Chains A and B, each alone.
Chain A
Amino acid sequence: MSISAKGVDFSYQTGSPVLQDFTMDLRRGECILMVGRNGAGKSTFLKLLNGILKPTKGEIYINGRNTATTPTSELAGHVAVTFQNPGDQIFSPTVRKEILFGPRNLRRENAEELTDRALTLLGLVSKASRHPYDLLPAERKLLTIASAVAMDTPLLAFDEPTGGLSQYEREIISNGLRQLKTDGRSFFIVTHDLDFFLPLATQVLVLSSGRVAYSAPAAELVRNAHLLRKYGVTLPLTTRLLRLLEIDSKS
């Protein structure tokens, strides 16, 4: 599994670019985090990833398929993307049907089984026959993640998967992602929640005004935290405090 983006430009209106000369690579088994200010172009990149939007310049390849020429419905077999706002993507009358929609379209032979597994993984078994709009916002978020997981794609791309989630759901997601990682799935995650995802990540991309301003292995980021400040990214408060205390006890 791989993503390869080369010199990608994108703009909704001519003259106001959202992404500029964006280049990145993701190889099988990796987990890349994309961080940056509100409105830096993070969510837009996810829409480019599965071909909903097409680059105005440059190319993106998913498993060797050019997103500009491959239909989204075909790319869907390789990459599952969730949106930030669950309301934008939920359309089925029950939780179970919503999850089943993806694997069935992709003609996965074990669609039912994949659905059951996703329901279990994200702790939604007891809500399977409920209407998605009867769920709490946090549960709806879990539902969108379950719908992506059930598609059984080698790559999962999430937009702020922990936004608005409390400790309980965060633990569900954390355990779920670990399990999916051992199954060999790759991740591309747009987030502000460095605290939560850094332990899972292999690499971190910092997006600033549509460009990759900084890219480094996750371990290196912790050491260079001061560099990230100017891109609107800071490590969690507790991490910073602990580091401060650590330095203090050493001196």
Chain B
Amino acid sequence: MEITLDRFSFHYAPSQQDVVSGITMGIPKGSCCAVLGPTGAGKTTLLLAISGALAAHYSSGVGEGEIAIGPKVFRPMPDKILFPEVGLALQESHLMISGLHETVRGEVGFSLENIGTDTKVKEEKIVLAMENVGILHLAERNPFMLSGGELQRVVLAALLAVQPAVLLLDEPSNSLDAEATAMLVRILRGLHKNTTVVFSDHQLDLAILVADRFLVLQDGEMVFFGEKKPFLKNLEQFKGFLPVDQWSKVIPQLSRKHAPHIRLLSRLLEIR
């Protein structure tokens, strides 16, 4: 589903300052958008707003503008959680664990159960989702005994299992190891055609590998929104609040070199 924000602003209490302010952007269906910015820039607030959780849980908050998801237009934002069409994984994974199941398998199936999935189909979907994020070996473990990175993958599997049309991920690569991050890249690249993805991050690696739209926030204001090429061209501009140093060294070289494997690499990364 397409996501459009029109001059969307929000603050948590009537007397407070805007946490996000005047955000206007359009993410086409099947697109993957990275929301980048430092701590406190408003990334989480924006994801909560699209999911419907912001209006549902922060009743003293004040919003303006509008958010459209697919054919539905919400002014200023969805007032109830839009699950299972829209799925959000919170940054603190341990909060997402319902505690109603003793095993990872059960926990992954929790959301499916909530939307009334038939038992047999459910079991298949659970296994598929666990396989997809590489946690089959954890299936019978107690979710509360897992490490931070493992827990994050359980939450991702649970979300992927319901196949939401809009997938919102709040800092999904935070405590993932190298393999799990590679897996996340593969999953997000594989999703593209059917699912619209919006994820937040304060690093660039995942964004450059998977995103085709980039939103850069600072203090709630939109500093940049656009496609990959203009984003990479303006990289220097984000110095100071995004870790651009290494990438600004890599990108010019990648686009200059003519050796075939470098050209292939740049094409894979869609840098040229």
Contacts and interface: CB of A to CB of B under 8 A. Distances in A.
Contacts of A102: none
A238 B246 contact: yes
B202 A192 contact: no
A136 B40 contact: yes
Contacts of B176: 38, 192
A169 interface: yes
A168 B218 CA distance: 12
A196 B187 CA distance: 26
Given A192-B178, A245-B254, A163 B148 contact: yes
B268 to A, nearest CB: 12
A84 B149 CA distance: 11
Interface string B246-264: 1101100110010101100
Nearest to A251: B259
A137 B175 CA distance: 14
Contact of B91 (A43, A137, A139, A248): A137
Max chain A Cβ within 10 angstroms of own Cβ: one of B202, B242, B247, B265: B202
Contacts of B124: none
Contacts of B265: 241, 244
B131 interface: no
Contacts, number: 101
Interface string B205-248: 10001000000000000000000000000000000111100110
A167 B150 CA distance: 25
Contacts of A138: 39-40
A136 to B, nearest CB: 5
Interface string B37-62: 11110000000000000000000000
B40 A165 contact: no
Contacts of A241: 250, 254, 265
B7 interface: no
B178 A139 contact: no
Interface in A111-142: 136-139
Interface string A8-52: 000010000000000000000000000011110001000000000
A232 B179 contact: yes
Contacts of B38: 166-168
A16 B150 CA distance: 17
Contacts of A139: 39
A153 interface: no
B16 interface: no
Nearest to B153: A38
Interface residues of B, number: 41
A170 B174 CA distance: 13
B180 interface: yes
B185 to A, nearest CB: 10
A85 B265 CA distance: 37
Contact of A85 (B148, B242, B253): B148
Max chain B Cβ within 10 angstroms of own Cβ: one of A43, A139, A170, A238: A238
B262 A239 contact: no
B177 interface: yes
Interface string A182-198: 00000000001001000
B241 A168 contact: yes
A167 B245 CA distance: 11
A43 B175 CA distance: 12
Given A164-B174, A233-B178, A39 B147 contact: yes
Interface in B63-95: 91-92, 94
Interface string A224-251: 0000000011101111011011001100
Interface of A: 12, 36-39, 43, 84-85, 136-139, 160, 163-170, 192, 195, 232-234, 236-239, 241-242, 244-245, 248-249
17 contacts: A36-B177, A38-B150, A38-B153, A38-B180, A39-B147, A43-B147, A136-B39, A138-B39, A164-B91, A164-B174, A165-B39, A166-B202, A192-B175, A233-B177, A237-B209, A242-B246, A245-B262
